[in-house]
Each structure stands twice: as C-alpha cells, then as structure tokens.
Structure 1
C-alpha cells in the first residue's frame, strides 16, 4: 500500500479539475485500488491510501490532471504497512 499526501493553496482553479478527479477516485475505489481518501480537517490538503505498487501509483498520479492542477501540490508518497484496524485493543481505540 502507498499513501499519497497533497497540499492545497488558495488557488481555486483546482476546483475545476475536482469533479473528474472524484470520478477517477470512485472507479479506483470500485476496483479496490483506492482504500480511502479525504481532506485534512483544516482544508490544507488531503491524504489518499492506495492498494498498489510504486509504478501503479505513479501511473495513477500521471493519469489524473488534478495532481498537477494549479493549487494542488503532491507533497509526496510513501509505502505504508498498516496494522489490523479491527484490533481495537492494540490500537487503543474505544467505541
């Protein structure tokens, strides 16, 4: 798995590319490639989690104009090895 971090600035031109971007994300989610995604609570960027290898992630980034749109910066991506999220005791999460 890979996590992709984005940063947003005040350039609202990115909003024009967002509908097509979200359609792509919906397809990737339906295929099982996108695990989850969402903006930071303060609106300064977003985090996306993909089930793919590095070449696959690079293809995803290259194929989506949103990632190079004005107002969007790809901060970076990293390989990620998540823990089992249903192990609430280990994660110290309380329902």
Structure 2
C-alpha cells in the first residue's frame, strides 16, 4: 500500500464551502473507517486542507479524489499530490520497533 499526502487549495473561503461541508465530512469519515484516510484537516492560516491517504496506487487515489464532494462541487482550485514513505516517528508502530530491538540483540 502507498501513502499519499494531498493538499487541496480552495477557491472559496470556509463559509463558501459550508453547503458542501456535510457531504465532505461524511465522505472523510467513511474513508477513515475503511482505512483509506489516515489523517485530514485544515491548514491553519491558509485556505487549504491536508489529507493523508493509504491506497494501492495513484489510480486508486484518483478515484477517491474524483468522489470527493469538494472536488465534485468545484471548490478545489488546486491539488498537490505527493507519495510519501514515512520511516520514523512516534506514530509508527511501537511493536515493530520492539521486535527490531529483539532481533538486533539476538532474540533476547
């Protein structure tokens, strides 16, 4: 599975997105429940949002984004997509690090 960071730039302010917001939020909750959306939220101080998706490939991501109510509603002025390979950080699985430590100590 691949992880993608997606940035939406909006062409209307938050108030201008309110009509689409319930459908947008419902879509994000559904994607989160299915494990496709890992994180998402507004960028403070910018008219933008960041979302982290985990999907099989760019083609699957494109299908997900094509169904996004903000995209379908025409309020997304620009989209930046970057594939991301996180390797370190507190959000990574602690059990994986523990197993790694055990392996390097000869299985103790």
Which residue is 2:65 aligned to? Answer: 61
Deviates more, 1:39-48 or 1:9-18: 9-18
Q: Whose radius of gyration is greater, 1 or 2?
A: 2
Q: State yes or no: 1:36 paired with 2:39.
A: yes
Give me the whole-angstrom Cα distance separating, in 2, the residues matched to 1:8 and 1:85.
30
Q: Secondary structure at the match of 1:32?
A: coil
Per-residue deviation, residues 34-62 of structure 1 (Å, max 9, x unmatched): 00001111141010000012111100111
Per-residue deviation, residues 46-87 of structure 1 (Å, max 9, x unmatched): 100000121111001111231143432232211111123228
User: TM (normalized to structure 1)?
Assistant: 0.78
Unaligned 5+ segments in structure 2 are 92-108
Unaligned 5+ segments in structure 1 are 88-95
User: TM (normalized to structure 2)?
Assistant: 0.70
How many residues are matched?
87
Which residue is 2:29 aligned to? Answer: 26
